[in-house]
Amino acid sequence: MQSNEDDFHRDADMVIVRTAQGFVKGRLHRGDVTYFAFKGIPYARPPLGELRFKAPEPPESWSGIRDAGEHGPVCPQYNERLDRIDTGSEDCLYLNVYSKAVQPPRPLPVMVWIHGGSFFTGSGNSDFYGPEFFMAHDMVLVTFNYRLEVFGFLCLDTEDVPGNAGLKDQVAALRWVKSNIAAFGGDPDNITVFGCSAGSAATSYHLLSRMSRGLFHRAICQSGVCLHEWAYNLHARERAFQLGKLLGKDTEDPTELVGFLRRMPSDLLVNVALPRLKHDRVDLADSISFGPVIEKEYSNIEKFISEAPYDIVRRGDVAKVPILLGYTSGEGIEVGRNIAYIAPHYSTVGSIVPRELKLKLSQEELETLDKKIRKHYFGTKDIDKSMLREACEFETYRFFGYNILRFARYHLKHTAKPVYVYKFCAETERNFYKKKYKIDFKGVCHADDLAYFFNVTNMDIPLTEDSKPIIKQVVEMWYNFASVSNPTPTNSSIQWKPFTEKERSCLVIDTPMMLVTDVDRRHIRFWEKIYNEEDISEIINNQKSYDVKYKLN
């Protein structure tokens, strides 16, 4: 939307900023904190028509002054939090900039948030990611949309549709921020990328991808990294042809299929339910039908990632920047709460073995590893729906915790940059997912930390005296890390020490906060044996093969 410049001059609570594409008009928000908000700024060309499924193209310029008072459309999706279909628009590549001052005495640190949602739901809108907690500090916060589900992650293994369009949208947003953020008071040489869940896994992907190099200077990964089996799709091409067949196009020709899918109404490509995969070694992560893929080699396109993430991480071809990462104490509640559904899945031999390992094991090795894992978490009993607590603990470390600590170890070893690790244990009225799932034992559910970082207004989440001090502390720590690479809170008796291979320092975020060493040793050391990664120096120095033999005794 554009407006006349004369309209601006009649309202002192508005401000005009010049971007590379044209002028935008933002608004001054007053309240407990004061900040400028610029919403709905396009960072890429609308991916419509023949651009559906393709990598984003640079944004188009406009004349006059663009009104940045409202969010742009959300990407078409099933809104999981509100249990509804949001039709949105495929013209959804917009971002939002919140700035404490557009003309500060010195450039402000910039934090760019990547929303989560299993790569099929979510947006950067302020109804869930309200900026007020961060705007208590002198900084710039950026949130944005990227294409989801089929629109963002269809892959045909062709040059036309190689996959990862949604991740390339994120790169386009980061490029826009790098080029334009100075106009909003931000420092283009001090940018921190952060996210939660799928947004956290995406953040770690940007540490690996050559497309993202030089676009940021720090990263924060909250409850996810690219090593998780749910963070990459091994059956994307098969899923694409399943989709075509479901919608009425039974073909084996990728050109014919993509032409058909580009003609489909967008509502038919949302919340798609595809048949189960028919493979000998399937896993729970296969239920994520469309997500990041390992792209094939093509000469004429820019690839986001073309190797398995665990190979890149082991080799150390990663951005040499400080990172902060961690997990919640009950991540696995998100998965284990469905124990009645997943218990039969667990009964299959090999089903509880991480995918990265089981695809390389002989049947005998698979069975041996399965028994070790099963005994450690479930004892000698058959797994049934009564084992809710055991399943939640198992998935906390199988699906989340171990690979997060594993990523930290490799990043430190290869980069020698500061690595800070946390475990989020705080429980107050703001832990909305756990309340929704009616879980009565201790543990912070996956994504329950989000309400401590953002002002959520589209859900009934109270803000009381119990949670306010925690909010203040965690946001300050994230801001400190984004400012000077050290998250230690101001005026605190706790010194958040960097993670080292020897001490493995971890900040337990709770009331009170505690610094511990060798966090969750019983679980993490167990999984190191399972992955045969007790000594990563040996792996790095000798390029130890994982395809030959695992420790099975």
Residues marked active site are found at 197, 331, 446
Distances (CA, A) of 193 to 144, 303, 324, 481, 484: 12, 20, 11, 11, 14
The DSSP string of 400-437 is IIHHHHHHHHHHHHHH---EEEEEE---STT-HHHHHH
Tokens of 417: 């940059």
Is the distance from CB of 144 to CB of 43 less than 8 angstroms?
yes
Is the distance from CB of 296 to CB of 373 less than 8 angstroms?
no
Is the distance from CB of 197 to CB of 297 less than 8 angstroms?
no
The DSSP string of 309-377 is HHHHHHHT-S----EEEEEETBTTHHHHTTHHHHHHHHTSTTTTS-HHHHTTS-HHHHHHHHHHHHHHH
Give the relative orientation of helices 363-378 and 388-395 as an angle to the nearest 10 degrees.
Answer: 120
Beta strands in 158-288 (DSSP E): 186-196, 218-222
Tokens of 90: 């495929």
Is the distance from CB of 168 to CB of 123 less than 8 angstroms?
no
Is the distance from CB of 410 to CB of 314 less than 8 angstroms?
yes
Beta strands in 201-271 (DSSP E): 218-222
Closest CA to 239 of 148, 307, 155: 155
Q: Phi and psi for 495 in degrees, rounded to 5?
A: -100, 110
* Cα–Cα dist 333/176, whole Å: 37
End-to-end Cα, the chain, rounded Å: 65
Q: What is the dihedral of CA 430, 431, 436, 437, to 10 degrees?
A: -170
Q: Looking at beta carbons, which pairs linking 72-76 to residues 24 or more positions away fall under 8 Å?
A: 72/39, 72/40, 72/41, 72/42, 72/145, 74/123, 74/125, 74/145, 75/123, 75/145, 75/146, 75/147, 75/148, 75/151, 75/152, 76/148, 76/151, 76/266, 76/267, 76/269, 76/270
CB within 8 A of 302, min separation 6: which ones? Answer: 55, 168, 211
Determine the residue type at 153: F
Q: What letters, b where the CB count within 10 A reaches 16 and e where it falls short, cover 378-393?
A: beeeebeeebbbbbbb
Q: Are strands 108-114 and 140-144 parallel, antiparallel or unpaired?
A: parallel
Is the distance from CB of 119 to CB of 68 less than 8 angstroms?
no
**Beta bridge partners of residue 37, listed in sequence order:** 27, 98
**Beta bridge partners of residue 329, listed in sequence order:** none
